[in-house]
Amino acid sequence: MTLDRTSPFWQSVDARAMALPRCGDCGRFHFYPRPVCPECWSDDLAWQPVGGRGAVWSYTVVRFAHGAHEGWKTRIPYVVALIELEEGVRMMGNVIDCPVDSVRAGMAVELAYREYEDGLIPVFLPAG
Amino acid sequence: MGEGAAIVGIGETRVGKHPGRNALDLQCEAVRKAIADAGIDKARIDGVYALGSYIQPTQLHGLSVIECLGLRPRLAGVVDVGGTVAFITMVQNAMAAIDAGRLEVAVCVYGDNAATHRAPGTHGYVAQMTTGAEEFEEIFGSSIVVSYALLARRYLDLYGLEPEEAFAPIALAMRRHATLNDNAAYRKPIDIEDYRASPWIAEPFRRLDCSPVVDGAGAFVIASPRVARGLDVEPVSYLGAGSQATHKIVSLTPDIPDLGMAEAGRRAFAEAGLTPGDVDLLTVHDGFTASISITVEALGFCGPGECGRLAEDGGLGFDGALPVNPHGGLLSQGHVGGMLHVLEAVRQLRGDAGPRQVRDAEIAAISGNGNIFSICGAMLLGKGLA
Ligand SMILES: [Zn+2]
């Protein structure tokens, strides 16, 4: 089901310019898109592209796709991380194009996009 | 507050595999056993708190239990907040109703057929059954295990620990307990070499860090002190409880020291007028080894990052300084949602735990977390009527 609340996120990803909802009242970004600003309950939300820089907060190397999304079962080992974006939000994402054992907390990453057989998703690459 | 309430009956099915039976069948068996244990007529049950299957979700589950067992309760509800906190919340609700004179005898029940009725190709509970917002996590290859692995990695980084020192001793301690429980699904003794040989699932978790799902159910009966005094059973009193919710999916988790567990524990201890030093045994919802570390430390039973060392020194054993999950926990008895953690605490306080009995057990703490430490809860029970 397509929701008014979430579809702009996926449209921004498709345009390779990921945007997140930002509150017009308190100025905070949030992720994932929710019906109101979860901080101040304002519904004055606007979509704003992110800069794309972030750092790894935590990470895991998945070596057995336990209950995971079908497409990922064929991609093990893969890294799932929680990324803190410079906009002050944390989101989940895959760190790719580096050895899976090289990912560490605090590592600087930058946003990119990758086409998989099940669709285009935002991903993160080691920065620099 | 009125006079409080007491748990007066417990019942559990065999854990393992029950092909051909669904969650409702298993739950009805557990309720029948709990009622028989209490020695009370089923006509006296005027409250039913139930949680249905996650593997094969159904609606209006409480009414199914009521109808199948021919009950006529005045109050009924489904409580779905996850791992052991659901059952702590059932007790809090039943307590409040008993205090207000709205009911006298309630039964609380949960069970699932997660081992035999899971979808082909899946292991355990898949993410969309519980996490929600899966559009923003599942698409990155996440799952329940991945979510907890992210929290566990943060834990290790925060305290500068390796999984072999932080988590392995916990897996071994739970398995040792399961060897003493004839209703545990995983009873083969293991040592550190078995742990090292256990395959990675999602680092830092090996298979032995993860709880296996089983089929099974448990139920307990909670009653007013007036009813409890008239029964031929050792009552176990409610002393206090607390909970704290903070988030739902792991992307939005607070950092380890800011999870709701510490606050939940403070509330439970304050209500009971007790401190961690008063507790004789603890049952902890242990979906993963790291769940025990995070919980035991947040509740103040040891310092941050110290639980692995405590386990290594035998401290978590039923015969140790802080007995944790003498029944083997989710990790080695098998995952029945944490309901059996409540039953084990009651069994221990009654002195009915056989070869794994904790000596002189008078105060038990029960704690758990729903989803990914999204809601945390703690409850204190005491031997006899308060
Ligand atoms: Zn706002």
Mark the residues whose beta carbon lies below 5 A from ion ligand 1. Answer: A 23, 25-26, 37, 39-40, 42
pLDDT value at B357 more than 60: yes
For testing contact with chain B, the best of A2, A31, A64, A70 (most B CBs within 10 A)? A64
pLDDT value at B118 more than 80: no
Collect all residues of chain A within an 8 Å Cβ-Cβ radius of residue B125. 67
Cis amide linkage into residue B57, ω under 30° from 0: no
Q: Are strands B363-370 and B281-284 parallel, antiparallel or unpaired?
A: parallel
Quick check: pTM over 0.90? yes
Reported for B66-74, long-range contacts at CB under 8 A and 24+ positions apart, including other chains, are B68/B24, B68/B28, B69/B28, B69/B31, B69/B32, B69/B42, B70/B42, B71/B42, B71/B45, B72/B43, B72/B46, B73/B45, B73/B46, B73/B47, B73/B48, B73/B103, B73/B106, B74/B46, B74/B47, B74/B102, B74/B103
Calpha distance A5→A1 (Å, rounded): 11
Helix (H) or strand (E) holding A10: helix A7-14
Q: CB distance B141–A78 less than 8 Å? A: yes
**Structural domain contains residue B219:** yes
Taking only the tens place, the pLDDT of each residue in B255-301 is 999 999 999 999 999 999 999 999 999 999 999 999 999 999 999 99
Closest partner residue to A80 among B125, B150, B207, by Cβ?
Answer: B150
| Residue B209 contacts A, CB cutoff 8 Å | no
DSSP state of B303: -
pLDDT value at B58 more than 80: yes
Q: CB distance A62–B202 less than 8 Å? A: yes
Q: CB distance A32–B203 less than 8 Å? A: no
Which residue of chain B is at minimal alpha-carbon distance from A32? Answer: B136
CATH of the domain at B85: 3.40.47.10
Q: What single-letter amino acid sits at B51?
A: L
Taking only the tens place, the pLDDT of each residue in A40-51 is 999 999 999 999
Residue where the block lists tokens 């390796």: B162
Taking only the tens place, the pLDDT of each residue in B1-40 is 568 999 999 999 999 999 999 999 999 999 999 999 999 9
Closest partner residue to B140 among A57, A64, A80, by Cβ?
Answer: A80
Computed from CA positions of residues B151, B153, B157, B163, in that sequence, does the dihedral angle turn out positive or negative? positive
pLDDT (0 to 100) of residue B121: 58
Collect all residues of chain B within an 8 Å Cβ-Cβ radius of residue A58. 150-151, 153-154, 157
Taking only the tens place, the pLDDT of each residue in B229-263 is 999 999 999 999 999 999 999 999 999 999 999 99
HEC assignment per residue over B131-157? CCCHHHCHHHCCCHHHHHHHHHHHHHH
Taking only the tens place, the pLDDT of each residue in A77-126 is 999 999 999 999 999 999 999 999 999 999 999 999 999 987 899 999 99
Distances (CA, A) of B16 to B201, B216, B309: 22, 7, 31
Rounded to the nearest angstrom, the minimum Cα separation between A52 and chain B is 17
pLDDT value at B64 more than 50: yes
pLDDT (0 to 100) of residue B133: 62
Helix (H) or strand (E) holding B222: strand B215-223
**Structural domain contains residue B83:** yes
pLDDT value at B83 more than 70: yes
Which residues of A have a CB under 8 Å from any CB of B? 6, 31-32, 57-69, 71-72, 75, 78, 80-82, 90-94, 105, 119, 121
Residue where the block lists tokens 């893969």: A78
Collect all residues of chain B within an 8 Å Cβ-Cβ radius of residue A72. 140-141
Q: CB distance A58–B150 less than 8 Å? A: yes
Which residue of chain B is at minimal alpha-carbon distance from A93? Answer: B140
CB interface of B with A, residues 5-24, below 8 Å: none
ipTM, 2 dp:
0.97
**Structural domain contains residue B172:** no
**Structural domain contains residue B53:** yes
- Mean pLDDT for B139-163 is 95
pLDDT (0 to 100) of residue B131: 46
- Domain range for B99 is 6-118+213-229
Calculate how far, in angstroms, residue A40's C-alpha sits from the geometric centre of ligand 1. 4
pLDDT value at B331 more than 50: yes
Collect all residues of chain B within an 8 Å Cβ-Cβ radius of residue A59. 150, 153
Residue where the block lists tokens 């907040």: B81
pLDDT (0 to 100) of residue B127: 46
**Structural domain contains residue B46:** yes
Closest partner residue to B154 among A58, A66, A68, by Cβ?
Answer: A58
Distances (CA, A) of A40 to A20, A26, A31, B322: 17, 7, 15, 43
Q: CB distance A81–B150 less than 8 Å? A: yes
By the 8 A CB rule, do A83 and A90 touch? Answer: yes
Calpha distance A44→B40 (Å, rounded): 58
Q: What are phi and psi of A120, to 5 degrees?
A: -90, 130
Q: What single-letter amino acid sits at B229?
A: R
Calpha distance A78→A56 (Å, rounded): 15
By the 8 A CB rule, do B107 and B45 touch? Answer: yes
pLDDT (0 to 100) of residue B129: 47
pLDDT value at B130 more than 50: no
Share of chain B above pLDDT 70, in %: 95
Q: Bigger pLDDT: B144 or B348?
A: B348
Collect all residues of chain A within an 8 Å Cβ-Cβ radius of residue B201. 62-64, 66
| Residue B150 contacts A, CB cutoff 8 Å | yes
Residue where the block lists tokens 């099940």: A118
**Structural domain contains residue B320:** no
DSSP-assigned beta bridge partners for residue B219: B11, B109
**Structural domain contains residue B337:** no
Structural domain count of chain B: 1
Calculate how far, in angstroms, residue A44's C-alpha sits from the geometric centre of ligand 1. 8
DSSP state of B14: P
**Structural domain contains residue B304:** no
By the 8 A CB rule, do B192 and B333 touch? Answer: no
pLDDT (0 to 100) of residue A45: 97
* Paired tokens of A127: 């920065």
Computed from CA positions of residues B260, B264, B267, B273, in that sequence, does the dihedral angle turn out positive or negative? negative
By the 8 A CB rule, do B93 and B62 touch? Answer: no
* Paired tokens of B241: 């409880």
Rounded to the nearest angstrom, the minimum Cα separation between B197 and chain A is 14
Computed from CA positions of residues A13, A19, A21, A24, in that sequence, does the dihedral angle turn out positive or negative? negative
